Amino acid sequence: MTNKLNAAKLTAPLFILLSGFYAQYASAIDFSPSASRDCVYIKACYETADNNLNRVYRQILESLSGEEKTALRNKQRAWLQERDNQCAQYEDNETKLTACRLDATIPRVAELSVLDLQVNQHKHQFEGKWESCFEFDDKELIEQYGRENCVAYYLIENDKNICGEWEDWASGRLYGGNVLLRAIDSRYAEFVKICSNGGYSGYANCYTNGDKPVAFSDWTTRKDTDDFHTQSAELSKGVKRTPFSPKEKETLIKENKWLQDCLNYQGQ
């Protein structure tokens, strides 16, 4: 592919990030009643939220050491205790108790995700060449996609956007196009916009009139459960991630106008 896919992220000193985070979030419990109100299966929603909370918390801890790690542990334990204290009024009703914990956990995940991005953004967790091939075992999947499936992403990121190309070999055909993602935390990113270079009819075309890029506003908006994450099942079998060299990144950005525009894209 000719467009195979950076700017370095500037971070404040870690102690400033942490002190600001603690000042804002350490003592108060923020509740989001819509979390339980919009959930059909409260227990399942809470289990998902709790797993996300633990995952993001561990991601931050892995990047801290010494007093910073101890401080975060203490603040998180205090938050858990305060959440349980405030939800204790529902101990006689398991559904309401779980709903209370869910309503408190969802905002906490969002708060920790912000800190996770601030602490880990300089690592460029998404940037590089992601390549994986695997075989399906399920008969229906084999009939739909063929036995072998290969997926590849070539991604460049800055402090706002993750931009690049995607390739998917399935059903004996090569599909591909460009993609715009935004990080949720240091390991998960959501698809914002996606387009196809002609192989896949489900997405808007990336180009028109030869090599003229289609406006990002006309790309297919894709916000669903199929997020990109660095440890996804999609890329877990035989995954190979290869970082770009500084010269390679510089060349890719310089030679791809659409990539420059994507990295600077401010829309939703």
- Alpha-carbon distance of 266 to 107, in angstroms, equals 25
Q: What is the pLDDT of residue 145?
A: 60
Model-wide pTM > 0.85: no
- Alpha-carbon distance of 98 to 111, in angstroms, equals 20
Q: What is the pLDDT of residue 11?
A: 27
- Alpha-carbon distance of 236 to 82, in angstroms, equals 37
Give, for all 268 residues of the chain, the pLDDT tens digit. 333 332 222 223 333 333 343 343 344 556 666 667 777 788 888 998 999 899 889 989 988 888 889 999 999 999 999 999 999 999 999 999 999 999 999 899 888 988 888 887 667 778 888 887 766 667 776 666 666 677 888 999 887 889 999 888 776 778 888 889 888 887 788 888 888 887 677 788 888 766 778 888 788 886 654 566 654 434 445 567 788 888 998 998 998 888 888 898 888 7
Q: What is the pLDDT of residue 10?
A: 23
- Alpha-carbon distance of 75 to 78, in angstroms, equals 5
Q: What is the pLDDT of residue 196?
A: 87
Tokens of 123: 């690592």
Q: What is the pLDDT of residue 17?
A: 35
